[in-house]
């Protein structure tokens, strides 16, 4: 067999290989050319495409321009004005710097570049076809630079068959220009496809104004602004409310130092901020701008510069999650520029919150005391059996079980001592297997006919239960609400676990409980070892594969503690938080379970005191509601 000789590739082939890295499709050409215009200080950039960009692409700007004798260098590989030595690679501030974009584009198209440098008497043009310069000379151009790309991939037919339809490619060009426009508010942009202007963005717009051109009005009006700093890191932008989440992540737009990127770390941080507010298959809307010193980020990871690498990944993850998380918390508490002294609930329509106010303002329900009884203790001590032949409280499931976490309330029953550990232990037994369900019977409201029944500490009126699953409420603004009893109890139990199981307190066992682990399980335990210790588990790893449990969290039954640990070892929960979510779901009261009135009120009171009460730990909504206007529309009154 003949061994091929080592040889130098022809220049044209080298350029086409480079083009394969930089020029993937027409939108790649638009991205590279527009970024060059931004680097040139342009304040107006106009993009025109035909046949999805395959037939024709034009990018015109009013930037600094290029002098005539440098146009040939501009279409030569590795020629650039943006860096000059190796030290510049650690402090890159421009969008393009490799010197590969123009020669790569010119090698796979019929390329014309015209430019006039500021202050020059005349402009100059250069024509390149398939990487070879075919013509050059004076050009009539008022200023700035104009690049025209015709017949993209005319000499690489194999690349053409991987392109999508013309409408799809045009849409991708639209999207890439939209992203660049969001990061450069000082510049104006226009985009025209097949002779029809798709959008025109004047310079100096605000972020919400630009977004409103591309995103639906209801999403733009409900966006929450956020801004957060930590040392040299800064993050700002806007995020959508959880109720308007969607099934795709195409409305998560991320920038690092003004550069649009697609980064798994940033995406993970955004989704982490919504954890517990969205289910796994839902994606929020978010526009995120991360700013940090150039030396802390490597933008030279990929030729297209869509991927970056951070020196301090944990700090980047934390600042993004905290920044968005704070905005979501303010929204959920109804704090919209006030002092936060009055707690609020967002108005919701059907299965999503609805707001008619912009950005961080939220529609809110005032919470004021207005219960029928003078105190919760008075309600608890009222003899309701006189209203019916049988009491409505079932043995084995009392109102005290729906206890909110101790950190959110001093005492649910005035004059009595809270016992959160005992409450938690009892609540863990509320699976369907441990609850005795009596035969359904008509419910009698306390003090029926004498006045409304309010949830203690609020103006939310309890009206009853439907389908043995949903609690019917009249909200303070007159809206009709339905609360999922299982989801609400999940939230209560989860917050209780979180508040009680992070103190590191432990109750020793007389005899240790041993678990024999698979090698993969050993690694899983080591990853969450500190979390388990903080939760109160005293553990020892013996002989490399035997896990000995010598202590368990106080107030937790030994059997339940073993199930906690086994679930963590099996990988059912990657973190302790995931474990709490799983266990709160198992322990919460189920659907199709009738609740007596005081049981329902106790659950509502405990739920009302929880943070993030609008969602269960999995991210499903707990409460949905219909305003008077929505109900009129349902009945076709409007």
Residue 606 near residue 404 (C-beta atoms within 8 A): yes
Report, as an integer, the average pLDDT of 83-94: 55
User: pLDDT tens digits for 524-548?
Assistant: 788 778 878 877 788 888 877 888 9
Got the DSSP string for 257-307?
Answer: TTEEE--HHHHHHHHHHTBTTB-TT-B--EEEEEE--GGGEE--SSTT---
Residue 21 has pLDDT above 80, yes or no: no
Residue 440 has pLDDT above 60, yes or no: no
Strands 546-552 and 507-516: what pairing? antiparallel
Task: Note the helical H segments in 501-612.
Answer: 519-527, 529-535, 558-569, 576-587, 597-608
The CA R_g of the chain, rounded to the nearest whole Å, is 32
Average pLDDT value for the chain: 76
Residue-level pLDDT at 482: 94
Residue-level pLDDT at 573: 66
User: pLDDT tens digits for 586-615?
Assistant: 778 888 888 888 889 889 988 988 888 888
User: pLDDT tens digits for 111-158?
Assistant: 999 999 988 889 999 999 988 899 999 998 988 999 999 999 998 888
Residue-level pLDDT at 471: 93
Contacts of residue 157, defined as CB under 8 A and 6 or more positions apart, other chains included, come to: none
Question: Which structural domains are found in the chain, ordered by start?
Answer: 11-205 (3.30.565.10), 209-349 (3.30.230.10), 367-439+454-638 (3.30.1540.20)
Got the DSSP string for 68-84?
Answer: GGGHHHHTSTT--SS--
Residue 340 has pLDDT above 90, yes or no: no
Residue 466 near residue 591 (C-beta atoms within 8 A): no
Strands 352-353 and 348-349: what pairing? antiparallel
Give the least confident one: 87-91, 206-210, 312-316, 534-538. Answer: 87-91
Contacts of residue 378, defined as CB under 8 A and 6 or more positions apart, other chains included, come to: none
Residue-level pLDDT at 15: 62
Closest CA to 149 of 195, 108, 189: 108
The pTM assigned to this predicted structure is 0.59
Residue-level pLDDT at 252: 94
Treating both helix axes as pointing N-terminal to C-terminal, what angle do 558-569 and 576-587 enclose, rounded to 10 degrees? 130
| Max CA pair span of the chain | 103
């Amino acid at each position: 067999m003949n061994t091929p000789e080592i040889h130098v590739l022809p220049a044209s082939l080298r350029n086409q290989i480079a083009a394969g890295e930089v020029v993937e499709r027409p939108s790649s050409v638009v991205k590279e050319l527009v970024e060059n215009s931004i680097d040139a200080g342009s304040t107006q950039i106009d993009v025109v495409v035909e046949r999805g960009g395959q037939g024709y692409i034009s990018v015109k700007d009013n930037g600094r321009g290029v002098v005539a004798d440098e146009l040939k260098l501009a279409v030569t590989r590795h020629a650039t004005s943006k860096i000059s030595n190796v030290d510049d690679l650690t402090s890159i501030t421009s969008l393009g710097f490799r010197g590969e974009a123009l020669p790569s584009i010119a090698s796979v198209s019929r390329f014309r570049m015209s430019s006039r440098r500021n202050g020059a008497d005349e402009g100059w043009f250069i024509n390149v076809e398939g990487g070879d310069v075919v013509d050059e000379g004076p050009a009539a151009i008022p200023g700035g630079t104009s690049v025209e790309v015709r017949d993209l991939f005319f000499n690489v037919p194999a690349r053409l068959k991987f392109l999508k339809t013309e409408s799809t490619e045009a849409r991708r060009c639209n999207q890439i220009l939209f992203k660049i426009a969001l990061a450069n508010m000082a510049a104006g942009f226009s985009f025209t496809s097949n002779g029809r202007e798709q959008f025109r963005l004047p310079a100096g717009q605000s972020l919400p104004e630009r977004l409103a051109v591309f995103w639906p009005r209801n999403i733009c009006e409900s966006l929450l602004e956020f801004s957060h700093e930590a040392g040299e890191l800064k993050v700002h932008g806007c995020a959508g409310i959880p109720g308007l989440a969607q099934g795709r992540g195409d409305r998560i737009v991320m920038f690092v130092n003004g550069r649009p990127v697609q980064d798994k770390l940033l995406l993970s941080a955004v989704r982490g901020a919504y954890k517990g507010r969205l289910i796994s298959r839902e994606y929020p809307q978010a526009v995120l701008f991360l700013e940090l010193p150039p030396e802390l980020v490597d933008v030279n990871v990929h030729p297209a510069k869509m991927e970056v690498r951070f020196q301090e990944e944990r700090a980047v993850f934390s600042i993004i999650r905290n920044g968005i998380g704070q905005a979501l918390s303010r929204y959920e508490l109804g704090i919209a520029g006030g002092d936060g002294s009055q707690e609020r609930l967002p108005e919701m329509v059907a299965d999503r919150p609805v707001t008619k106010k912009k950005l961080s303002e939220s529609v809110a329900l005032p919470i004021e005391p207005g219960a029928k009884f003078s105190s919760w203790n008075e309600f608890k001590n009222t003899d309701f059996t006189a209203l019916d032949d049988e009491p409505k409280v079932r043995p084995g499931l009392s109102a005290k079980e729906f206890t909110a976490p101790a950190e959110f309330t001093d005492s649910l029953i005035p004059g009595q001592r809270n016992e959160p550990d005992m409450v938690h232990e009892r609540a863990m037994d509320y699976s369907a297997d441990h609850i005795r369900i009596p035969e359904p019977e008509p419910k009698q409201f306390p003090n029926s006919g004498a006045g409304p029944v309010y949830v203690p500490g609020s103006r939310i009126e309890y009206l009853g239960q439907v389908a043995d699953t949903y609690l019917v409420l009249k909200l303070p603004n007159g809206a009709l609400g339905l609360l999922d009893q299982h989801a609400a109890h999940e939230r209560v139990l989860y917050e209780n676990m979180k508040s009680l199981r992070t103190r590191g307190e432990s109750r020793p066992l007389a005899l240790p409980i041993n678990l024999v682990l698979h090698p993969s399980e050993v690694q899983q335990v080591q990853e969450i070892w500190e979390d388990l210790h903080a939760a109160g588990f005293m553990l020892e790893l013996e002989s490399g594969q035997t896990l000995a449990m010598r202590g368990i969290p106080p107030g937790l039954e030994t059997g339940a503690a073993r199930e906690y640990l086994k679930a963590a070892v099996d990988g059912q929960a990657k973190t302790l938080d995931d474990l709490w979510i799983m266990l709160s779901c198992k322990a919460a009261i189920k659907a199709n379970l009738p609740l007596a009135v005081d049981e329902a009120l106790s659950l509502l009171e405990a739920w009302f005191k929880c943070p993030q009460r609008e969602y269960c730990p999995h991210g499903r909504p707990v409460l949905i509601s219909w305003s008077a206007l929505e109900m009129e529309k349902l009945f076709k009154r409007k």
